[in-house]
Structures are given as structure tokens and as C-alpha cells.
Structure 1
């Protein structure tokens, strides 16, 4: 089937889809950004970029250009006020 690559088992008993929820807000994120991430692997490079850190060459994913404010990212690492998990 077209979505067979998304399943970890041949039966549908135990499956996992590569979807998730990610919210971001701040000066490094476009105010009007309402785009979805193309891939969950883009979360880590996005966080590196927002923190002003070099993205490791072997890291899977890429920075979603449509979500970030390049001017703010170029300023360097922001102060982190709060992280909610």
C-alpha cells in the first residue's frame, strides 16, 4: 500500500505514524507562521537555528525557511526565559 512505509509492523496491531505537534513562538519565528513542519526531523535543526548554534552536518532534517525570521536568528543565542514540557 502507499502508506506501508509508515508502519513498523505488517499487521495494524502496533503502528506508529511520523506525525506530531510542535508549537513555537518568539522573535525567531515569523508571527504569521502557521505552516506545518514537512518532517519531524526538522524540529532539531530548527531549534539549533533559533539558538544561533551551528547545525551538525550529520543531523537529519533541515530548517524550515518559511517559519524562521532570519534577522533574529543572525543575532545569536537568545536568552531562554521558560521551557514548558
Structure 2
């Protein structure tokens, strides 16, 4: 998880764009998480989309990133005066 920390947690977002939903740490370690319903008699219970918790976390992350960028811009503007 150090890789994700060093990349400002963008390594976790990599999972959104990979076929097996692997994060950066999974790709480096050549591992992946298996859906608990994948190898049972209930494959219809597999979720293809993001869950509520993942959506909320992504929204919070995006807001915090925008606030951080905004603060850096404001600090730059203040420093120029």
C-alpha cells in the first residue's frame, strides 16, 4: 500500500480501469481479489458496478483533491501579491 500512498492514492483508482479490478498494489504483487460469489451456486449475486460505499469514498476523495488544488492555487495567488 506504500505505492498507493506515494501516488496520492491514485493506485487505488487504477482498479476502476482494469478488467479484474486490480489496484496498483495488486498489479505489482500479481494478485487479485476474488468475488465471494464467483465460485458458488449463486453467480447472479455478483455485482458488476460500484457499490454505495465505493461511490461515496470516490466522491469524498474527489472533493478533497479539488479542495487541495484550490488551496494551492490560492496560496500561489496570495504569494504573488
For the aligned pair, the TM-score class normalised by the smaller chain equals under 0.3
Q: Which structure would you say has the larger Rg? A: 2
What is the TM-score normalised by the length of structure 1?
0.26
What is the TM-score normalised by the length of structure 2?
0.27
Q: Which has the higher contact order (CA 8 A, sep 6+)?
A: 1
Q: Which has the higher helix share?
A: 2
